[in-house]
Structure 1
Amino acid sequence: MTDDSARTWVEAEWLDSLDEELEMEIDDLLISKELAFISRHEHAQGAELDRKVYFHELLRMQAELVKLQDWVQAEGKKVVVIFEGRDAAGKGGVIKRITQRLNPRVARVVALPAPSEREKSQWYFQRYVPHLPAAGEMVLFDRSWYNRSGVERVMGFASEDQVEEFFNDVPEFERMLVRSGITLIKYWFSITDQEQQLRFLMRIHDPLKQWKLSPMDLESRKRWEDYTKAKEETFERTNIPEAPWFIVEGNDKKRARLNCISHLLSKLPYAEVPHETIHLPERVFNPDYERKVLPDELYVPERF
């Protein structure tokens, strides 16, 4: 392979890596005429973040996240990051960008379904404990034990006594986690009533996103003020020095992603871990080996 052809191949591989992010960004451009009208007349925002700036900063910080991952693994650190906020606030989008280039054996996402009947009879925090990190792991909770003071409270799935018990227990539970060596970081993604309405409408009109819209999401629209009150009390009673809350302004998805990732990197004293130089070994050739011819039906048809 010549130097020029090798350079061309490397550039193609790099562009293919960028395409992964571009594919996710295309979602934001698929807006129906009805939604374009809403966006134009009811959804005025500030100046849009330049796409070159966005991609440059995202890729730069994803490289830093890889360094963070290596440091967590090498130093045996235990990190928990909680993502909370209203439905459609952008939690999933930032989690995708954080984990996009990380090793899933080191950085994993936990998004638990509704509790089973058995889990409902357990100590409330019990079903979350098995998902906490061991040494050298990062765990990102896409919603967490704060379901109790949020959706469970607002939707009537938890009694006032259960909510009060949660508020009494959660500060000490989180202090126990921190004392055990876990770094606990809590994010709340905040969006306006207007922005949530637009994102819900996008999900209704976009067949690729309708699966994201549950009956619970629709019900939450009617209970906006109840969620606001629940959020305010949650901050008041669980914002402790050992595990404070950090609010991410989420109306602008791209800025929210960059701001959150930048803040996360700033909260951990990671350093670059030296690695031994990797050398690709020469392939061993066996002159007596004959590769078997496999039947055509085993191959995926090449339609593209």
Structure 2
Amino acid sequence: MDAVARLPLALFRTIDADPRHWQIIALAGLFLFSYSTSSFGAEPSALLFAFCGAMLAQGLGSAVLNLRAGRPLLHGFDPKSALITTLGVTILLRAAAPWIWFAAAFTGIALKFLVRIKGKHVFNPGCIGIVAMMLLLGRDAWVSPGQWGQMPLIAGYALALAALTLSSAKRLDIAIGFLATFAAILFARAMWLGDPMAIPLHQLSSGSLLIFAFFMITDPRSTPDSRVGRILFAMAVAGLATWFIIGPNQRGAPLMALAALGLLTPLLDRALPARRFEWPRGTPAPDRARPIFTLSPLKPWGTKET
């Protein structure tokens, strides 16, 4: 009986051991919301294709890095980040053909391995995968802004907020900073133009905005390390996103803005240094090793690491 009574606490501790567990649970719930409440929501077939693309890229990236380090090919293989990318791509991206979900997830995870500055991701994998497909394929790939009804959207925000609050990643500041700035600009513009408040409210009532604010811009491995840096970054992304909406009327504006400002993160980290976030260490993950391609200065041959 004691073992049964302790089971919920043990389960909570197991989940809480890694912030990504909460993200996976929340995103899985949002996938079910999308699938069950909308005729244009996420589909299991898209989930399968995205899963295959993300896991293939994660496996190949891990294998290449392990091969260079003289370790077994799948040493430290960790599917959690790839699964988060899978769910994010599936929920947000709409495509004309199934292979596009595969390509988006594969591209996002591949760029996680390929493009880094001082060992840190430049782009959020899900975001850059979706943006790449939208830019390359035009009308064949797009982001669906409104997927759920009002009640599922409210439940989705509650679920996302709970996941981010419980997560030890502690990135609620950047989510609030982005949403507050984004909303303030939209409402200020509506007041300036004399538009009804229903317009900015409609722009804020979006399932894609929910996923972006709580599961993409909050990625601790591709956003600034310091709190001030994160808030400045969130404000910059919100400002550019609203310009994309007001100016060229770009679909998926927040994702476009986040991808465009990816290189701002290392600049803010340099100007406002702070302790770098690391995922909980179990088996050393191969993607913490020297990246396949790096934007940081290379050391001369023969230079010893200190």
Query: How would you bin the TM-score normalised by the shorter chain?
Result: under 0.3
- Structure with higher strand content: 1
TM-score of the superposed pair, with normalisation by structure 1: 0.27
Please say which structure displays the higher CA radius of gyration.
Answer: 1
| TM-score between the two structures when normalised by the length of structure 2 | 0.26
